[in-house]
Amino acid sequence: MLKKIISGGQTGADRAALDVAIKLGIPHGGWIPKGRLTEEGRLPRRYQLQEMPTESYLLRTEQNVIDSDGTLIVARGKLTGGSDYTREMTLKHKKQLLYVDLDIYEPMDASPLIASWVRMQRIEILNVAGPKASKDPTIYAAVQKILKHAIEILNAEDSKSKVALEHNESKKSLKPPKTVHEAVSRLIGELSLKDKTTIANMAEVELSTLHTTIGEYVREEFGLWTGNKDLMTSCCFLVKRDKVSENEASSIIIIELWKKVRKTYKLRIVK
Protein backbone atom coordinates (compact mmCIF):
# COMPACT_ATOMS: atom_id res chain seq x y z
CA MET A 1 0.00 0.00 0.00
CA LEU A 2 2.81 2.44 0.86
CA LYS A 3 4.19 3.56 -2.49
CA LYS A 4 6.32 6.61 -1.70
CA ILE A 5 7.89 8.51 1.20
CA ILE A 6 8.42 12.26 0.97
CA SER A 7 9.84 14.93 3.25
CA GLY A 8 11.33 18.40 3.15
CA GLY A 9 14.93 17.16 3.15
CA GLN A 10 15.94 18.92 6.36
CA THR A 11 18.40 17.29 8.77
CA GLY A 12 16.89 15.14 11.51
CA ALA A 13 13.46 13.55 11.01
CA ASP A 14 13.14 14.54 7.33
CA ARG A 15 16.49 13.04 6.37
CA ALA A 16 15.90 9.86 8.37
CA ALA A 17 12.70 9.17 6.42
CA LEU A 18 14.46 9.63 3.08
CA ASP A 19 17.34 7.36 4.12
CA VAL A 20 14.92 4.61 5.18
CA ALA A 21 13.13 4.86 1.84
CA ILE A 22 16.42 4.61 -0.07
CA LYS A 23 17.64 1.69 2.03
CA LEU A 24 14.40 -0.27 1.60
CA GLY A 25 14.01 0.52 -2.09
CA ILE A 26 10.89 2.65 -1.68
CA PRO A 27 10.48 5.62 -4.06
CA HIS A 28 11.12 8.91 -2.29
CA GLY A 29 10.81 12.60 -3.03
CA GLY A 30 9.26 15.81 -1.80
CA TRP A 31 9.83 19.55 -2.10
CA ILE A 32 12.79 21.52 -0.79
CA PRO A 33 13.42 25.28 -0.77
CA LYS A 34 15.14 26.83 -3.79
CA GLY A 35 18.86 26.11 -3.67
CA ARG A 36 18.17 22.78 -1.89
CA LEU A 37 18.57 24.59 1.41
CA THR A 38 19.04 22.78 4.71
CA GLU A 39 20.60 23.90 7.97
CA GLU A 40 23.88 22.19 6.99
CA GLY A 41 23.98 23.55 3.43
CA ARG A 42 22.78 22.10 0.11
CA LEU A 43 20.99 18.78 0.19
CA PRO A 44 23.09 16.12 -1.61
CA ARG A 45 21.91 15.17 -5.10
CA ARG A 46 21.28 11.55 -4.16
CA TYR A 47 18.04 12.73 -2.57
CA GLN A 48 15.48 13.11 -5.35
CA LEU A 49 13.65 16.20 -4.13
CA GLN A 50 12.27 19.01 -6.27
CA GLU A 51 13.23 22.62 -5.67
CA MET A 52 10.53 25.15 -4.89
CA PRO A 53 10.60 28.44 -6.84
CA THR A 54 11.18 30.17 -3.49
CA GLU A 55 13.51 29.75 -0.51
CA SER A 56 10.54 29.65 1.87
CA TYR A 57 10.58 26.68 4.25
CA LEU A 58 6.92 27.29 5.06
CA LEU A 59 5.75 27.01 1.45
CA ARG A 60 7.84 23.85 1.06
CA THR A 61 6.18 22.38 4.15
CA GLU A 62 2.69 23.12 2.87
CA GLN A 63 3.41 21.67 -0.58
CA ASN A 64 4.62 18.40 0.89
CA VAL A 65 1.42 18.17 2.92
CA ILE A 66 -0.65 18.81 -0.20
CA ASP A 67 1.19 16.18 -2.24
CA SER A 68 0.78 13.41 0.34
CA ASP A 69 -2.09 11.25 1.55
CA GLY A 70 -1.07 11.71 5.15
CA THR A 71 1.64 13.21 7.34
CA LEU A 72 3.54 11.48 10.12
CA ILE A 73 5.16 13.79 12.66
CA VAL A 74 7.69 12.30 15.06
CA ALA A 75 8.89 14.57 17.86
CA ARG A 76 9.01 14.97 21.62
CA GLY A 77 6.47 16.85 23.70
CA LYS A 78 4.51 19.85 22.52
CA LEU A 79 5.00 20.62 18.84
CA THR A 80 6.80 23.85 18.03
CA GLY A 81 8.30 25.61 15.02
CA GLY A 82 8.23 23.77 11.72
CA SER A 83 6.67 20.65 13.22
CA ASP A 84 3.72 22.61 14.56
CA TYR A 85 3.35 24.42 11.23
CA THR A 86 3.26 21.02 9.52
CA ARG A 87 0.42 20.04 11.86
CA GLU A 88 -1.47 23.23 11.00
CA MET A 89 -1.09 22.68 7.26
CA THR A 90 -2.20 19.07 7.52
CA LEU A 91 -5.38 20.13 9.30
CA LYS A 92 -5.89 23.03 6.89
CA HIS A 93 -5.80 20.74 3.86
CA LYS A 94 -7.85 18.04 5.62
CA LYS A 95 -5.19 15.36 5.21
CA GLN A 96 -4.57 12.43 7.54
CA LEU A 97 -2.28 13.23 10.48
CA LEU A 98 -0.47 11.07 13.03
CA TYR A 99 1.74 12.57 15.72
CA VAL A 100 4.04 10.16 17.53
CA ASP A 101 5.26 11.78 20.74
CA LEU A 102 8.45 10.00 21.77
CA ASP A 103 7.93 11.22 25.33
CA ILE A 104 4.93 8.89 25.38
CA TYR A 105 5.70 6.07 22.96
CA GLU A 106 8.61 3.66 23.09
CA PRO A 107 10.05 3.01 19.61
CA MET A 108 8.76 -0.58 19.46
CA ASP A 109 5.27 0.63 20.40
CA ALA A 110 5.33 3.45 17.87
CA SER A 111 6.10 1.23 14.87
CA PRO A 112 2.94 -0.95 15.05
CA LEU A 113 0.89 2.21 15.59
CA ILE A 114 2.32 3.79 12.43
CA ALA A 115 1.83 0.60 10.42
CA SER A 116 -1.82 0.32 11.51
CA TRP A 117 -2.45 3.98 10.70
CA VAL A 118 -0.90 3.70 7.23
CA ARG A 119 -3.00 0.64 6.45
CA MET A 120 -6.28 1.89 7.91
CA GLN A 121 -6.03 5.29 6.24
CA ARG A 122 -4.79 3.79 2.96
CA ILE A 123 -1.69 5.99 2.90
CA GLU A 124 0.17 5.56 -0.39
CA ILE A 125 2.29 8.73 -0.27
CA LEU A 126 3.57 9.36 3.24
CA ASN A 127 4.95 12.74 4.29
CA VAL A 128 7.32 12.54 7.27
CA ALA A 129 8.20 15.53 9.41
CA GLY A 130 9.74 16.38 12.76
CA PRO A 131 12.50 18.44 14.36
CA LYS A 132 15.81 19.11 12.64
CA ALA A 133 19.05 17.76 14.02
CA SER A 134 20.06 21.01 15.74
CA LYS A 135 16.83 20.96 17.74
CA ASP A 136 16.98 17.24 18.60
CA PRO A 137 20.30 15.47 17.93
CA THR A 138 18.76 12.03 18.58
CA ILE A 139 15.68 12.36 16.36
CA TYR A 140 17.39 11.02 13.22
CA ALA A 141 18.22 7.64 14.81
CA ALA A 142 14.80 7.40 16.45
CA VAL A 143 12.84 8.08 13.26
CA GLN A 144 15.03 5.74 11.25
CA LYS A 145 14.47 2.89 13.69
CA ILE A 146 10.73 3.47 14.09
CA LEU A 147 9.94 3.95 10.41
CA LYS A 148 12.06 1.01 9.26
CA HIS A 149 10.28 -1.31 11.69
CA ALA A 150 6.86 0.05 10.70
CA ILE A 151 7.56 -0.69 7.03
CA GLU A 152 8.78 -4.18 7.89
CA ILE A 153 5.46 -4.78 9.66
CA LEU A 154 3.54 -3.56 6.60
CA ASN A 155 5.60 -5.76 4.29
CA ALA A 156 5.01 -8.81 6.48
CA GLU A 157 1.27 -8.18 6.44
CA ASP A 158 1.31 -7.71 2.66
CA SER A 159 3.12 -11.00 2.12
CA LYS A 160 0.31 -12.76 3.96
CA SER A 161 -2.53 -10.94 2.20
CA LYS A 162 -1.14 -11.15 -1.33
CA VAL A 163 -1.75 -14.85 -1.75
CA ALA A 164 -3.24 -14.89 -5.23
CA LEU A 165 -4.52 -17.30 -7.82
CA GLU A 166 -4.15 -16.97 -11.56
CA HIS A 167 -7.23 -16.65 -13.76
CA ASN A 168 -6.87 -18.33 -17.12
CA GLU A 169 -9.09 -19.90 -19.73
CA SER A 170 -8.37 -23.51 -18.76
CA LYS A 171 -9.51 -22.88 -15.20
CA LYS A 172 -12.60 -21.01 -16.31
CA SER A 173 -13.68 -24.06 -18.34
CA LEU A 174 -13.77 -26.24 -15.22
CA LYS A 175 -17.11 -26.87 -13.56
CA PRO A 176 -17.53 -25.18 -10.17
CA PRO A 177 -16.89 -27.52 -7.22
CA LYS A 178 -19.99 -28.91 -5.52
CA THR A 179 -18.54 -29.57 -2.07
CA VAL A 180 -16.14 -27.89 0.33
CA HIS A 181 -13.78 -30.85 -0.11
CA GLU A 182 -13.74 -30.33 -3.89
CA ALA A 183 -13.20 -26.58 -3.45
CA VAL A 184 -10.25 -27.13 -1.11
CA SER A 185 -8.71 -29.71 -3.44
CA ARG A 186 -9.04 -27.29 -6.36
CA LEU A 187 -7.36 -24.49 -4.43
CA ILE A 188 -4.48 -26.73 -3.33
CA GLY A 189 -3.93 -27.66 -6.96
CA GLU A 190 -3.91 -24.05 -8.11
CA LEU A 191 -1.89 -22.37 -5.34
CA SER A 192 1.88 -22.20 -5.60
CA LEU A 193 4.08 -24.01 -3.09
CA LYS A 194 5.08 -20.64 -1.63
CA ASP A 195 1.46 -19.61 -1.11
CA LYS A 196 0.48 -22.93 0.45
CA THR A 197 3.41 -22.65 2.85
CA THR A 198 2.47 -19.07 3.68
CA ILE A 199 -1.12 -20.04 4.48
CA ALA A 200 -0.05 -23.11 6.47
CA ASN A 201 2.09 -20.95 8.75
CA MET A 202 -0.56 -18.31 9.40
CA ALA A 203 -2.41 -18.14 12.71
CA GLU A 204 -6.16 -18.68 12.45
CA VAL A 205 -6.83 -15.06 13.40
CA GLU A 206 -4.79 -13.96 10.37
CA LEU A 207 -6.97 -15.77 7.85
CA SER A 208 -9.20 -12.71 7.49
CA THR A 209 -6.39 -11.12 5.43
CA LEU A 210 -7.19 -13.68 2.70
CA HIS A 211 -10.78 -12.48 2.36
CA THR A 212 -9.99 -10.06 -0.49
CA THR A 213 -7.68 -12.44 -2.37
CA ILE A 214 -8.56 -16.12 -2.10
CA GLY A 215 -11.99 -15.21 -0.76
CA GLU A 216 -12.80 -13.11 -3.81
CA TYR A 217 -11.47 -15.82 -6.11
CA VAL A 218 -13.67 -18.45 -4.43
CA ARG A 219 -16.78 -16.27 -4.58
CA GLU A 220 -16.30 -15.50 -8.27
CA GLU A 221 -14.69 -18.63 -9.75
CA PHE A 222 -16.55 -21.21 -7.66
CA GLY A 223 -19.93 -19.67 -8.40
CA LEU A 224 -20.95 -18.44 -4.97
CA TRP A 225 -22.08 -15.11 -6.42
CA THR A 226 -24.01 -16.86 -9.20
CA GLY A 227 -25.92 -19.42 -7.18
CA ASN A 228 -23.79 -22.53 -6.67
CA LYS A 229 -26.42 -24.15 -4.43
CA ASP A 230 -24.50 -27.40 -4.00
CA LEU A 231 -21.41 -25.66 -2.65
CA MET A 232 -23.49 -23.38 -0.42
CA THR A 233 -25.33 -26.43 0.96
CA SER A 234 -22.01 -28.17 1.63
CA CYS A 235 -20.79 -25.13 3.58
CA CYS A 236 -24.00 -25.08 5.64
CA PHE A 237 -23.68 -28.80 6.39
CA LEU A 238 -20.09 -28.39 7.53
CA VAL A 239 -20.90 -25.68 10.09
CA LYS A 240 -24.31 -27.17 10.98
CA ARG A 241 -26.32 -24.12 9.96
CA ASP A 242 -29.40 -23.72 7.80
CA LYS A 243 -28.05 -20.73 5.89
CA VAL A 244 -24.80 -18.86 5.30
CA SER A 245 -23.94 -15.84 3.17
CA GLU A 246 -21.57 -15.98 0.20
CA ASN A 247 -18.89 -14.22 2.26
CA GLU A 248 -19.32 -16.69 5.11
CA ALA A 249 -19.14 -19.60 2.66
CA SER A 250 -15.82 -18.38 1.26
CA SER A 251 -14.47 -17.99 4.81
CA ILE A 252 -15.52 -21.57 5.62
CA ILE A 253 -13.63 -22.82 2.56
CA ILE A 254 -10.53 -20.79 3.50
CA ILE A 255 -10.54 -22.25 7.02
CA GLU A 256 -10.79 -25.78 5.64
CA LEU A 257 -7.98 -25.00 3.19
CA TRP A 258 -5.86 -23.75 6.08
CA LYS A 259 -6.54 -26.91 8.10
CA LYS A 260 -5.59 -29.06 5.13
CA VAL A 261 -2.33 -27.35 4.19
CA ARG A 262 -1.17 -27.20 7.82
CA LYS A 263 -0.90 -30.99 7.77
CA THR A 264 1.66 -30.91 4.97
CA TYR A 265 3.14 -27.44 4.53
CA LYS A 266 3.51 -26.08 8.07
CA LEU A 267 7.13 -25.34 8.94
CA ARG A 268 8.34 -27.24 11.97
CA ILE A 269 11.32 -26.35 14.13
CA VAL A 270 13.74 -29.24 14.54
CA LYS A 271 15.34 -29.13 17.97
Per-residue pLDDT of 142-198, as tens digits, reads 999 999 999 988 887 666 666 666 555 555 567 899 999 999 999 998 888 778 888
| Residue 90 CB burial class (10 angstroms; 0-12, 13-18, ≥19) | buried
Q: Name the more confident of 166 and 63.
A: 63
| Residue 44 CB burial class (10 angstroms; 0-12, 13-18, ≥19) | exposed
Lowest mean pLDDT among 109-113, 157-161, 215-219, 239-243: 157-161
Q: How does residue 212 score in pLDDT terms, banded at 50, 70 and 90?
A: confident
pLDDT at 192: 83
Strand partners, 260: none
CA distances to 29, 45, 70, 198, 271 from 165, in Å = 34, 42, 32, 14, 35
- pLDDT above 90 covers a percentage of the chain that reads 69
Q: For residues 151 and 5, what is the distance between their CA atoms, to the nearest angstrom?
A: 11
With beta carbons less than 8 A apart as the criterion, state whether 163 and 191 touch.
yes
pLDDT at 270: 36
pLDDT at 200: 86
Residue 219: phi and psi, rounded to 5, are -65, -35
pLDDT at 171: 56
Encode pLDDT of 245-256 as tens digits. Answer: 999 999 999 999
pTM of the model: 0.62
pLDDT at 268: 45
User: Mind listing the domains of the chain with CATH numbers?
Assistant: 4-160 (3.40.50.450), 169-265 (no CATH)
Taking all residues of the chain, what is their mean pLDDT, rounded to a whole number? 90
pLDDT at 271: 34
Q: For residues 65 and 36, what is the distance between their CA atoms, to the nearest angstrom?
A: 18
